[in-house]
Each structure stands twice: as C-alpha cells, then as structure tokens.
C-alpha cells in the first residue's frame, strides 16, 4: 500500500513537471538550445495567474489561461530581442545567455511583487481516501489540466498547419526552409507555446503550494532532468521523463532519507545517458 501511495504521489508531481518540461524540450527541438529562461517564465506565469485570480478575482481556469498567454508573450519578446542575437554564437553562448536572462526577469518580478510568499484565492480541500489511498482533489484537478494542456498541444502539432511547420522545422530545418517555412515565424511560435506552457506549469505548482519569485528556479533542475531523461528534443519523451523522475524521487524514500530526493533525478540522468545516450525516447521531436 505504501508503495502504491508513493507511486501515486510521484505520478501526480511528475505530471505537473511534464508541462514545463515539454516547453523546454520543444525549444530544444526547434531552436537547438536549452533555454534556462524557462524558470523565470514559470515565475512570470505564476504571477500573471496570481494577478488574474487574486486582484481581478477570475476563477482558476481563466487565470491559468492568463498565465499561459502572458508567459508566452514575454517568451516571444525575450527570444526575439535578447536570445535571438545570441543564437549565431552557438548553443553554449545562447544557453548561458538564457541563464542571465532568467535572473534578470526573475528580479523584475521581485522588483514589482517583493519576496513574500503569496497564495492563490483557492480553498484548500482535504484529501479523498480512495481504496486506502490518499488522493488530493487539487492535485487531481492539476493532473486533469496538465493532461488537457498536453493533449491540446499534441493535437495542435499534428493537425494544424503551424504545428506541422514546427515539427518539420524540428526534423530538418534546412529542408523546412526550402519548402518555404518561415524560420522566424516558427521560432516565435515555439517560444510562445513553450513559454506559455512554462507559465502554466508555474501556476500549477503554485496552486498546490505558494508562489514567490523563485517558484520557477526551484523546479528548473527537476524539469531539466525530466527532459534529458526522456530524450532532449522529444515531446513525449519529456512526459515520460517527468513521470519517471517524479515516481523515482518518491520511491527513493523507501530506502533513502528525503534529504537526498533531488539526487534521484540526476542519478536517473547518469543511468539513462549511460545506457541510452539520446534519452529514453531519443531526440525525435514527436
């Protein structure tokens, strides 16, 4: 029973991690660099959702939409004006630039909102006991929202022209350009969707905890681990990786003190990369 509860807890936290992890891996698939600025976009999304939910008294779902849109728009602007010029200098320079960007953006949020912890206007509900297992209704809702967001994303990628253009570009940028796909448009689109997902993920984490300017930074290492384990560049891989990291961190409690939880994500990276250097699902984007 204890193991089942741990797996359940792991799946729930893994699903939440999967949302921003998809964003990280999507940017890698299309733009070919690891965008650590994802962390600050999670924070921006969480605070945009906070403004909508607490100041404007919007319900949760429209607030999540606000988190997605605001973080997505900031993502497009920050990529267009800050990271795009870095890209010519290569992968490492751009990734380092994204770390600088994330610290700058995080401090902008701090300047406006300060350091204190804030909570959404949301009643906290007691867990349900289902067959001896504790299930949090809030986490179930988060799970449903995360699954819905991922489903929408996959539908977008497979059944819309823009989605197919993104996949084509991820698969072979040269060929995609020859076929007339506008590289700049694809970059903007992927930045919007990926950072929007980051914002959504930031608010989902906040719904279950509290938010402060570090909300994204605290999770970025687990998200990075999830994306790498699943196969950096593979969207389903990000989901698989996030679930594995989530469940792995929980199951580790059977033998390790909780103080070593984070080590599991990185142990998973070592094991997976040793056995499968391109991650569990490889680097194919879809």
- Binding region for another protein (CB under 8 A): 2, 5-6, 9, 13, 16, 110, 115-119, 123-127, 134, 136, 138, 205, 208-210, 212-214, 218-219, 250, 253, 257-262
Cβ proximity to another protein, 42 vs 165, nearer residue: 42
Shortest Cβ distance from residue 21 to another protein (Å)? Answer: 14
Task: Determine the Cα–Cα distance for residues 198 and 238; give it in Å rounded to an integer.
Answer: 13
Q: How far is the CB of 138 from another protein (least distance, A)?
A: 8
The pair phi, psi for residue 211, each rounded to 5°, is -120, 150
User: Alpha-carbon dihedral of residues 220, 240, 238, 242, nearest 10 degrees?
Assistant: -10
Give the residues across from 118 on adjacent strands: 211
- 173 in Cβ contact with 183 (< 8 Å): yes
Nearer to another protein, 135 or 183 (CB): 135
Min CB(42)–another protein separation in Å: 11
Contact call for residues 194 and 38 (beta carbons, < 8 A) = yes
- Nearest partner of 227 among 87, 27, 75, judged by Cα: 27
> Smaller CB distance to another protein: residue 79 or 212?
212
Nearer to another protein, 257 or 274 (CB): 257
CB of 3 to another protein, least distance (A): 11
Of 117 and 270, the one with the shorter C-beta distance to another protein is: 117
Task: Give the whole-angstrom CA distance, residue 160 versus residue 185.
Answer: 15
Query: Taking a C-beta distance cutoff of 8 angstroms, is the pair 232, 273 a contact?
Result: no
Report, in Å, the least distance between residue 155 CB and another protein: 28
Query: Which residues does 204 contact at the CB level (< 8 Å), separation at least 6?
Result: 16, 19, 64, 142, 145, 146
Match 């991650």 to its residue by tokens.
Answer: 279
Closer by beta carbon to another protein, 206 or else 279 = 206
Q: How far is the CB of 214 from another protein (least distance, A)?
A: 7
Name the minimum Å distance from CB 270 to another protein: 19
* Burial (Cβ within 10 Å: 0-12, 13-18, ≥19) of residue 11: middle
Our CB check for another protein shows the closer of 79 and 106 to be: 106
């Amino acid at each position: 029973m204890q193991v089942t509860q741990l797996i359940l807890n792991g799946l729930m936290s893994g699903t939440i991690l999967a949302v921003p992890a998809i964003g990280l891996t999507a940017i890698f698939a299309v733009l070919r660099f690891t965008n650590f600025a994802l962390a600050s976009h999670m924070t921006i999304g969480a605070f945009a959702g906070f403004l909508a939910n607490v100041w404007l008294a919007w319900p949760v779902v429209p607030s999540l939409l606000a988190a997605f849109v605001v973080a997505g728009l900031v993502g497009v602007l920050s990529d267009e004006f800050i990271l795009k010029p870095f890209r010519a200098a290569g992968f490492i320079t751009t990734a380092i630039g994204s770390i600088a960007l994330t610290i700058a953006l995080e401090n902008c949020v701090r300047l406006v909102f300060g350091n204190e912890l804030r909570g959404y206007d949301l009643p906290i509900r007691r867990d349900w006991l289902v067959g001896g297992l504790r299930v949090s209704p809030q986490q179930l809702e988060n799970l449903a929202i995360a699954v819905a967001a991922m489903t929408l994303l996959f539908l977008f990628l497979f059944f819309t022209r823009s989605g197919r253009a993104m996949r084509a570009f991820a698969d072979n940028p040269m060929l995609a350009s020859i076929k007339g796909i506008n590289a700049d448009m694809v970059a903007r689109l992927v930045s919007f969707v990926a950072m929007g997902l980051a914002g959504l993920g930031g608010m989902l984490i906040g719904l279950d905890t509290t938010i402060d300017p570090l909300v994204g930074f605290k999770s970025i290492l687990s998200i990075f681990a999830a994306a790498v384990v699943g196969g950096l560049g593979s969207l389903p891989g990000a989901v698989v990786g996030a679930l594995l990291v989530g469940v792995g961190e929980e199951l580790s409690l059977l033998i390790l003190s909780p103080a070593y939880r984070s080590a599991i994500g990185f142990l998973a990276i070592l094991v997976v990369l040793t056995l499968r250097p391109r991650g569990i699902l490889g680097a194919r984007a879809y």
